[in-house]
Amino acid sequence: MEPKGGSSAVVTAEAVKEGLARRPNLSATEESVVRMRHGVRVEDPRAPLPQKHGDREELKDELLLLEMHLLKAWRRHKATKTTTSNRIPPAAAPGVDGKAKDKIVRALRKKR
């Protein structure tokens, strides 16, 4: 028996971009998987996020307030992160011999 002639399909980056544009209901994870699988880049990573409020002013104000709170929390987190990373590392634990520790580390590295 001879094998059947198979057909192959070529998927281009442009075709994937068009497909993603037509399917806005994909989750972020699904979209990133499709992009990684087919090697499609995001057009402009600094582009503003799409507005989901429609023309409802009440929802627009609530989303803006939420965004402002998140930005403030992120800045506060970033400030505490930089101050804690500038601290001097604690000294070795009391009762731990530095030579013994180095010997153990070297022995474990040799085991690899």
Q: What is the DSSP string of the chain?
A: -PPPPP------HHHHHHHHHH-TTS-HHHHHHHHHHHTPPPS-TTSPPPP-STT-HHHHHHHHHHHHHHHHHHHHHHHHHHHHHTSPPPPPPTT--HHHHHHHHHHHHHH-
Burial of residue 38, with CB atoms counted within 10 A of its CB: 0-12 exposed, 13-18 middle, 19 or more buried? middle
Kindly report the pTM of this predicted structure: 0.38
Note the pLDDT tens digit of each residue in 66-76.
999 999 999 99
Chain segment 24-62, per-residue pLDDT in tens: 788 888 888 888 888 888 777 777 777 777 788 999 899
